[in-house]
């Protein structure tokens, strides 16, 4: 704190290089999804199949929850977050799929004077393992999956300019358990839950006030996160249409105080409804497109966001 | 058909998670919320501090502390017995309180004050009709809370706490060496010294003086925090007793002296002009009209709904070391006219910087932002000063003097800067060019000159006198704090230059007082 930022900037450069190297390394190790579209679905790729996709997402909100109080803020207007994500799924075996994702994110507020931010966000890699598949009742098949995932910020973005930061800047690890029931007809039922551990975040400032206390440090302890999701829908050879209810609960953290800015370790909770359609094209083969939408039903310290996604995937078989 | 599970494969996701956890630094979430303060062992008793020049009190004996009973008296012996009993039954919470307060009372109260500032540094939320409710000292618990501890309010709060502590401790030192009664741990070998106990006479107790003077100041400055303040003060007195540092009569005499001194400062605070610093709609309009009459574009609030400017009459609040005439005389030269080519170049420079901001520049802007919800720029300088003070192992009275000098200079800087801002009523860069978007929050008051630059320059001037070995790094911090406002897109280069010169000049008034206060 007694020296200007030279030292911090050197260590930041080193961190960026280390992270960059790691991202490259992990990208080589973890190849990228088609019909398998996310770490939390019930689908594993066939062995030696690679799916690569590009997803565009646009999320916006003009109301947010300041603690439990839903409000608007004329100094933000509508906050829009756009992202381009590269996703990859690779079937190592018929039971195990590696999933990875890297988004480029940009933020913007329609009103007020605050500057939007943009940059590469967090690199995620996950291993999805099908524990078992078994006939269940006379109607279908039940699968159980275990997923381990890790994410690391892939650039040196600041998490200290919410709601316009592009991410929370925390390294994290999670374990997920999924049950997926596929009927002999074409519908499915799916439930998944995960616990995420998040590492502390380092700010560019040496003091902050949150959750009723002044912290005289640049380190922020990040509470863990629990999330669950139930989905149902239709799945046939070329078509996959899930409709889901998602809930996230942050296991600690303070509220945004009255007329304060959000803070990285806030208790960010939400319940969302999601729906998407994925369709495998016949021409060209091995191509699939995906459209998704979600809306926030309830929340705490988050925006009441509506999101749309459009994605395209290509599958390679080796 | 149940598939056969390969254990190796089963554990791959788990292994990946563990690897990620290790990579994430073991998910180490242990942080240290407060500065670590080692037990204070002052390098000097500062036995002559009773003769140091007072800030507000007429002299060290303005309030009399009557002679204590002799150490051999039954009254005092009973007090010693009570300490021995207390020490034989200390709980772990009581031991923690002793450890906490052994770091130094002035430093601890400085931390507590910074926390209170951060807690109360929130602007009122707009009402449904677009108006802004005004924090009401008669209803401090309402919405909004009183106060809105913005940088100007905070500068004044830090200065009142520090100045009152300094005068109270000088008086305490005077009486200590008049009465010369040692601490219980020095008198009675059966009383343990659970804090460092020096040869400093214990009557009146400096810890009790600090608790009394600080709690009375903070109750006025942060009335909605009365409960936590009172508890902390009581804990400080108890820790002094439990640790063998002070007896019940040492503490009673100290508490009374602290409160008596506080009353003088509370009276001063009640009539120093803060109450009318917010102004009213007619005043706000007259400031804009005056700028227009000078041919200038007046500042307007860029908040939505438009918010009244922050404490437009704060420039009339009483200073510590300057007369009103001196304050006016030190006002910086006018900024470039809003219609001048020079101003156009200033605006273009801000836009160029913000549109090409590097990550390191953003880090500097965020590091020094000290905006809403923080302990403010004066708090940041107190934070830095606390480290120098801690390392210097000063006596409590010398520590109080250091913070008083720092905070009086920053208060005077706040008054001088606000007087300048509202005199010129100069628009922010983003008002003159709405394409300028700011990577930090835009303060809701006129631009010229920069408050950060003024505060930091005044602070660095005083701290360089107190800690000459740190002059170079203090100057670097001052410059970084100042330039951070250009990186933040909220100040022109001229605001920063003007503020730095202004702050140094204002700081020199406190410096002159410091050089002549007989403490060296």
Residue at A47 is within a domain: no
Give one DSSP letter per residue of B253-274, joined into a string.
HHHHHHHHHHHHHHHHHHTSSG
Residue at A24 is within a domain: no
Closest Cα in chain B, distance from residue A294 (Å): 28
Residue whose C-alpha is closest to residue B152's, from B377, B406, B427: B377
CB–CB contact A130 B3 (8 Å): yes
Q: What is the count of structural domains for chain A?
A: 1
Residue at A223 is within a domain: yes
Confidence (pLDDT) at B33: 84
Of B5, B7, B27, which to mutate for an interface test with A (greatest number of A Cβ within 10 Å)? Answer: B27
CB–CB contact A5 B28 (8 Å): no
Question: Residues B257, B65: contact at Cβ < 8 Å?
Answer: yes
Using a CB-CB distance cutoff of 8 angstroms, which residues of chain B are in contact with residue A1?
383-384, 387
Query: Could you tell me the two tokens for B49?
Result: 């501090």
Q: How far apart are CA B17 and CA B15, in angstroms?
A: 5
The single-letter DSSP state of residue A123 is E
Q: How far apart are CA B224 and CA B120, in angstroms?
A: 9
Closest Cα in chain B, distance from residue A178 (Å): 13
CB–CB contact B122 A261 (8 Å): no
Q: B509: how many CB neighbours lie within 10 A of its CB?
A: 23
Question: Residues A152, A173: contact at Cβ < 8 Å?
Answer: no
* Helices (H) then strands (E): counts for chain A: 1, 19
Query: Could you tell me the two tokens for A20?
Result: 């960059």
Question: Residues A107, A166: contact at Cβ < 8 Å?
Answer: yes
Cβ-based neighbours of B202, under 8 Å, separated by 6 or more:
B176, B181, B182, B183, B184, B186, B245, B246, B247, B250
CB–CB contact A172 B372 (8 Å): no
Using a CB-CB distance cutoff of 8 angstroms, which residues of chain B are in contact with residue A134?
1-3
Query: Could you tell me the two tokens for B125?
Result: 């939320």
Residue at A156 is within a domain: yes
CB–CB contact B2 A206 (8 Å): no
CB–CB contact A127 B16 (8 Å): yes
Cβ-based neighbours of A170, under 8 Å, separated by 6 or more:
A153, A159, A198, A199, A200, A201, A222, A264
Give one DSSP letter per residue of A189-227, joined into a string.
EEEEEEEEEE--EE-SSS-EEETTEEE-SSEE----EEE
CB–CB contact A146 B473 (8 Å): no
Q: Is the pLDDT of residue A187 over 50?
A: yes
What is the ipTM for the molecules in this complex?
Answer: 0.92
The reply to whether B284-515 shares the fold of B49-65+81-270 is: yes
Per-residue pLDDT of chain B (520 residues; tens, 9 = 90+): 334 444 444 455 555 555 555 554 445 567 888 878 999 999 999 999 999 999 999 999 999 999 999 999 999 999 999 999 999 999 999 999 999 999 999 999 999 999 999 999 999 999 999 999 999 999 999 989 999 999 999 999 999 999 999 999 999 999 999 999 999 999 999 999 999 989 999 999 999 999 999 999 999 999 999 999 999 999 999 999 999 999 999 999 999 999 999 999 999 999 999 999 999 999 999 999 999 999 999 999 999 999 999 999 999 999 999 999 999 999 999 999 999 999 999 999 999 999 999 999 999 999 999 999 999 999 999 999 999 999 999 999 999 999 999 999 999 999 999 999 999 999 999 999 999 999 999 999 999 999 999 999 999 999 999 999 999 999 999 999 999 999 999 999 999 999 999 999 999 999 999 999 999 8
Domain ranges of chain B: 49-65+81-270, 284-515
Q: Which of A111, A150, A161 sits opposite B17 (nearest CB)?
A: A150
Q: How far apart are CA B325 and CA B319, in angstroms?
A: 11
Find the distance separating the first CA and the last CA of chain A, reported in whole Å.
Answer: 55
CB–CB contact B115 A128 (8 Å): no
Average pLDDT in the A114-134 region? 95
Q: In chain A, which residue ranges form alpha helices assigned H by DSSP?
A: 6-29
Q: How far apart are CA B295 and CA B340, in angstroms?
A: 11
Average pLDDT for chain A: 88
Closest Cα in chain A, distance from residue B30 (Å): 7
Q: Regarding the domain delimited by B49-65+81-270, which CATH topology (the fold level of the hierarchy) does it fall under?
A: Vanadium-containing Chloroperoxidase; domain 2 (1.10.606)
CB–CB contact B23 A221 (8 Å): no
Closest Cα in chain B, distance from residue A10 (Å): 10
Residue at A31 is within a domain: no
CB–CB contact B480 A5 (8 Å): yes
Query: Do the bridges between strand A213-215 and strand A208-210 make them parallel or antiparallel, or are there none, so unpaired?
Result: antiparallel
Q: How far apart are CA A207 and CA A204, in angstroms?
A: 9
Residue at A283 is within a domain: yes
Q: Measured on CA atoms in the order A27, A31, A35, A36, is the torsion positive or negative?
A: negative
Q: Which of A96, A205, A214 sits opposite B115 (nearest CB)?
A: A214
Of A44, A107, A113, which to mutate for an interface test with B (greatest number of B Cβ within 10 Å)? Answer: A113
What dihedral do alpha carbons B345, B347, B349, B350 form, nearest 10°?
170
Secondary structure class of B337 (helix, strand, coil): coil
Of A204, A208, A260, which to mutate for an interface test with B (greatest number of B Cβ within 10 Å)? Answer: A204
CATH architecture of B284-515: Orthogonal Bundle (1.10)
Query: Could you tell me the two tokens for B65?
Result: 């502390």
- Chain A residue closest to B3 (CA)? A132
Using a CB-CB distance cutoff of 8 angstroms, which residues of chain A are in contact with residue B363?
5, 8-9, 12, 158, 204
Q: Between B54 and A27, where is the model more confident?
A: B54
Using a CB-CB distance cutoff of 8 angstroms, which residues of chain B are in contact with residue A118?
none
Closest Cα in chain B, distance from residue A48 (Å): 16
Using a CB-CB distance cutoff of 8 angstroms, which residues of chain B are in contact with residue A161?
366, 439-440
Average pLDDT in the A16-26 region? 40
Residue at A45 is within a domain: no
Q: How far apart are CA B379 and CA B115, in angstroms?
A: 9
Using a CB-CB distance cutoff of 8 angstroms, which residues of chain A are in contact with residue B362?
158, 204
- Chain B residue closest to A156 (CA)? B359
Of B5, B7, B22, B24, which to mutate for an interface test with A (greatest number of A Cβ within 10 Å)? Answer: B24
Q: Is the pLDDT of residue A211 over 80?
A: yes
Using a CB-CB distance cutoff of 8 angstroms, which residues of chain A are in contact with residue B31?
200, 215, 217, 219-221
Residue at A27 is within a domain: no
Query: Could you tell me the two tokens for B485?
Result: 């406002």
Q: CATH number for the domain including A226?
A: 2.40.160
Confidence (pLDDT) at A282: 80
Confidence (pLDDT) at A7: 46
């Amino acid at each position: 704190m007694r020296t200007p930022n030279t030292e911090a900037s050197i260590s930041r450069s080193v961190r960026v290089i280390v992270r960059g190297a790691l991202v490259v390394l992990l990208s080589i190790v973890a190849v990228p999804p088609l019909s398998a579209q996310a770490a939390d679905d019930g689908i594993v790729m066939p062995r030696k199949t690679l799916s690569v996709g590009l997803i565009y997402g646009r999320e916006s909100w003009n109301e947010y929850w300041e603690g439990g109080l839903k409000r608007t803020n004329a100094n933000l207007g509508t906050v829009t977050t756009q992202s381009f994500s590269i996703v990859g799924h690779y079937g190592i075996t018929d039971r195990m799929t590696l999933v990875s994702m890297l988004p480029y994110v940009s933020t913007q507020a329609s009103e007020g004077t605050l500057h939007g931010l943009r940059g590469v966000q967090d690199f995620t890699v996950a291993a999805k393992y099908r524990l078992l598949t078994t006939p269940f009742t006379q109607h279908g098949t039940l699968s159980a999956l275990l997923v381990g995932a890790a994410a690391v910020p892939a650039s040196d973005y600041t998490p200290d300019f919410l709601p316009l930061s592009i991410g929370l800047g925390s390294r994290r690890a999670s374990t997920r358990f999924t049950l997926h029931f596929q009927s002999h007809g074409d519908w499915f039922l799916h439930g998944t839950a995960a616990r995420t551990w998040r590492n502390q975040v380092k700010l560019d400032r040496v003091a902050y006030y949150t959750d009723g206390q002044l912290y005289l440090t640049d380190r922020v302890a990040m509470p863990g996160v629990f999330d669950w999701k139930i989905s149902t829908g239709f799945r046939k050879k070329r078509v996959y249409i899930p409709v889901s209810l998602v809930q996230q609960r942050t296991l600690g953290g303070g509220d945004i105080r009255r007329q304060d800015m959000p803070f990285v370790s806030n208790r960010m909770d939400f319940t969302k409804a999601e729906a998407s359609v994925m369709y495998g094209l016949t021409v060209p083969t091995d191509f699939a497109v995906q459209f998704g939408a979600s809306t926030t039903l309830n929340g705490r310290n988050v925006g009441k966001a509506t999101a749309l996604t459009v994605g395209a995937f290509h599958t390679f078989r080796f | 058909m149940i598939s056969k599970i390969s254990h190796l494969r089963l554990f791959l996701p788990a292994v990946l998670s563990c690897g990620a956890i290790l990579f994430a630094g073991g998910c180490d979430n242990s942080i240290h919320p407060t500065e670590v303060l080692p037990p204070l062992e002052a390098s000097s008793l500062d036995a002559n501090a009773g003769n140091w020049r007072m800030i507000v009190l007429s002299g060290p004996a303005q309030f009399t502390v009557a002679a204590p009973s002799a150490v051999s008296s039954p009254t005092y012996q009973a007090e010693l017995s009570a300490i021995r009993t207390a020490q034989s039954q200390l709980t772990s919470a009581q031991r923690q309180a002793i450890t906490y307060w052994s770091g130094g009372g002035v430093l601890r109260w400085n931390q507590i004050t910074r926390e209170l500032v951060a807690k109360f540094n929130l602007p009122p939320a707009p009402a449904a009709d677009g108006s802004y409710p005004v924090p009401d000292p008669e209803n401090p618990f309402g919405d909004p809370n009183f106060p809105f501890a913005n940088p100007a309010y905070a500068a004044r709060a830090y200065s009142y706490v520090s100045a009152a502590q300094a005068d109270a401790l000088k008086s305490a030192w005077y009486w200590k060496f008049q009465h010369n009664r040692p601490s219980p741990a020095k008198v009675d070998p059966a009383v343990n010294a659970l804090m460092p106990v020096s040869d400093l006479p214990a009557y009146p107790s400096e810890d009790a003086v600090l608790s009394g003077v600080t709690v009375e100041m903070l109750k006025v400055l942060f009335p909605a925090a009365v409960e936590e303040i009172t508890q902390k003060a009581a804990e400080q007195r108890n820790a002094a007793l439990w640790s063998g540092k002070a007896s019940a009569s040492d503490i009673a005499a100290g508490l009374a002296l602290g409160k008596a001194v506080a009353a003088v400062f509370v009276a001063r605070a009640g009539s120093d002009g803060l109450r009318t610093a917010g102004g009213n709609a007619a005043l706000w309009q007259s400031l804009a009209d005056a700028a227009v009459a000078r041919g200038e574009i007046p500042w307007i609030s860029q908040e939505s709904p438009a918010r009244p400017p922050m404490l437009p009459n704060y420039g009339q609040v009483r200073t510590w070391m300057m007369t009103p005439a001196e304050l006016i005389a030190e006002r910086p030269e006018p900024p470039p006219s809003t219609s001048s080519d020079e101003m156009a170049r200033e605006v273009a420079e801000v836009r160029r910087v913000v549109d090409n901001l590097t990550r390191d520049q953003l880090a500097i802007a965020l590091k020094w932002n000290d905006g809403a919800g923080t302990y403010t720029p004066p708090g940041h300088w107190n934070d830095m000063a606390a480290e120098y003070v801690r390392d210097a192992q000063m006596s409590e009275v010398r520590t109080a003097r250091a913070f008083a000098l720092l905070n009086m200079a920053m208060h005077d800087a706040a008054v001088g800067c606000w007087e300048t801002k509202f005199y010129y009523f100069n628009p922010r860069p983003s008002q003159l060019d709405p394409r300028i978007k700011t990577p930090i929050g835009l303060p809701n008051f006129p631009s010229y000159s920069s408050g950060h630059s003024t505060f930091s320059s005044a602070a660095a001037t005083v701290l360089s006198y107190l800690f000459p070995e740190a002059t170079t790094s203090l100057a670097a911090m001052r410059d970084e704090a100042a330039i951070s406002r250009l990186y933040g897109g909220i100040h022109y280069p001229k605001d920063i230059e003007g503020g730095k010169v202004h702050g140094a000049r204002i700081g020199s008034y406190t410096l002159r007082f410091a050089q002549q206060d007989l403490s060296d």
